[in-house]
Amino acid sequence: MDLTIKSTKTLHNGVEMPRFGLGVYKMTDKEAAVEAMLAAIEAGYPAIDTAAIYQNEEEVGEAVRSSRVKREDLFITSKVWNTDQGYDNTLRAFEASLKRLGFDYLDLYLTHWAIPETYEETYRAIQRLYDEKLVRSIGVSNHQQHHLEKILAKANIKPMVNQIELHPQLTQEPLRQFCADNDIAITSWSPLARGRLLDEPVLAKIGEAHGKTIAQVVIRWHLQSDLIVIPKSVTPSRIKENADVYGFMLSEEEMKMIDGLNQDWRTGTHPDQITV
Ligand SMILES: NC(=O)C1=CN([C@@H]2O[C@H](COP(=O)(O)OP(=O)(O)OC[C@H]3O[C@@H](n4cnc5c(N)ncnc54)[C@H](OP(=O)(O)O)[C@@H]3O)[C@@H](O)[C@H]2O)C=CC1
Ligand SMILES: O=C1CO[C@H](CO)[C@@H](O)[C@@H]1O
């Protein structure tokens, strides 16, 4: 059986984005954050997903510089926070992020949430960063179809990625279809539903059949579903466990069983309810 999964997703501008990376939300203890990020890089994680609001961009920069992996061999994403949106503010926020990271470019920069009054201007600024070659690829996060339609109607450069909450209890089928039809790759945030799926009986049974943990089954489900996945852990053993997902394959039936767990259940805010 072919167990291989392409390790990157080709974005519509030709950039190869790793399908797997480390999410670093809530890694705020400086020492533990750098240690976890470094452990992930040394364990072969090719990507890190941060954001200005996570307050750990400096730690990301430090971990990358103290690792044995070259900056250009890693894919680093950050995001402009809600209170920094708008054209000029976004350009300033990007510069501040880059400074905190200590890098001269980012691999991907996203609008964190579609704040109704400002998300279109924010994306216009992000396009400028792309034109100026300060970012290798651009996109959005927490954008619904109606937000994307507005952006697509005016964009010179279509978003390459939409990062949304997605896991077996929130499978987001219609938005996934819309993004696929428009060449927008999807990154799943809270891919493990923040740990709340980890005693789910269907997943436990599938895990037992493969000798894998529930977290590994869920990460494999994201990968086999053509999604980009960024599980977060500060725990070294879990960082290794979450990356050990390439030696087994979920059957079509198992994939369908996992798809069937959908309840349209969110761990986070609904994108249409965000204010700031
Ligand atoms: N764009 C957006 O608005 C958002 C983006 N994100 C991004 O997505 C990333 C991932 O989402 P996040 O919300 O962090 O949640 P996840 O679904 O990745 O779950 C993280 C939680 O699961 C635990 N965990 C991880 N691996 C295992 C394992 N193998 N066994 C048991 N428990 C495990 C972690 O514990 P521990 O760390 O203690 O090991 C942590 O409590 C974020 O870090 C961030 O980068 C997240 C939310 C919103
Ligand atoms: O990225 C994020 C991490 O989680 C936060 C709390 O749910 C979100 O608001 C934010 O978008």
pTM confidence score: 0.98
2 CA to centre of ligand 2 in angstroms: 36
pLDDT in tens, 196-237: 999 999 999 999 999 999 999 999 999 999 999 999 999 999
For 63, half-sphere exposure in the C-beta direction (CA atoms, 13 angstrom radius) is: 29
The percentage of the chain sitting over the pLDDT mark of 90, rounded to a whole number, equals 96
80 Cα: distance to centroid of ligand 2 (angstroms): 12
ipTM, 2 dp: 0.98
In whole numbers, what is the pLDDT of the chain averaged over residues?
A: 97
Q: Is the CB of 241 under 6 A from ligand 1?
A: yes
Q: Which atom of ligand 2 has the smallest separation from the CA of 25?
A: 3
pLDDT digits (tens, 9 = 90+) for 33-70: 999 999 999 999 999 999 999 999 999 999 999 999 99
Parallel, antiparallel, or unpaired: how do β-strands 8-10 and 16-18 relate?
A: antiparallel
Alpha carbon nearest to ligand 1 atom 20, residue: 194
List all residues whose CB is within 6 A of at least one atom of ligand 2: 25, 51, 112, 268
Own/partner pairs, 84-88, CB within 8 angstroms, 24+ separation? 84/52, 85/111, 85/115, 85/118, 85/119, 85/121, 85/122, 86/118, 86/121, 86/122, 86/125, 87/121, 87/122, 87/124, 87/125, 88/125
Q: Whose CA is nearest to atom 27 of ligand 1?
A: 238
Place of tokens 């279809």: 177
Cβ-Cβ contacts under 8 Å for 171 (sequence gap 6 or more): 259, 262
> Residue 78 C-alpha to ligand 2 middle, in angstroms?
13
pLDDT tens string 124-156 = 999 999 999 999 999 999 999 999 999 999 999
| N-terminal to C-terminal alpha carbon distance within the chain | 48
pLDDT of residue 241: 97
Helix orientation angle between 252-259 and 201-210, rounded to the nearest 10 degrees? 160
**Whole-angstrom distance, CA of residue 94 vs CA of residue 91:** 5
**Separation of alpha carbons 143 and 121, rounded Å:** 14
Alpha-carbon gap, residue 200 to 157, rounded angstroms: 41
Question: Worst-scoring range by mean pLDDT, 2-6, 149-153, 232-236, 269-273?
Answer: 2-6
Cα–Cα dist 87/117, whole Å: 12
Q: Which residue has the tokens 């037992």?
A: 208
Q: Which residues are catalytic?
A: 54
Residue of the nearest CA to atom 22 in ligand 1? 195
Cα of 119 vs centre of ligand 1, distance in Å, is: 25
CA gap 117, 177 in Å, rounded: 26
102 backbone φψ class: left, alpha, beta (φ>0; ψ -120 to 50): left
Nearest to 194 by CA among 162, 226, 230, 222: 230
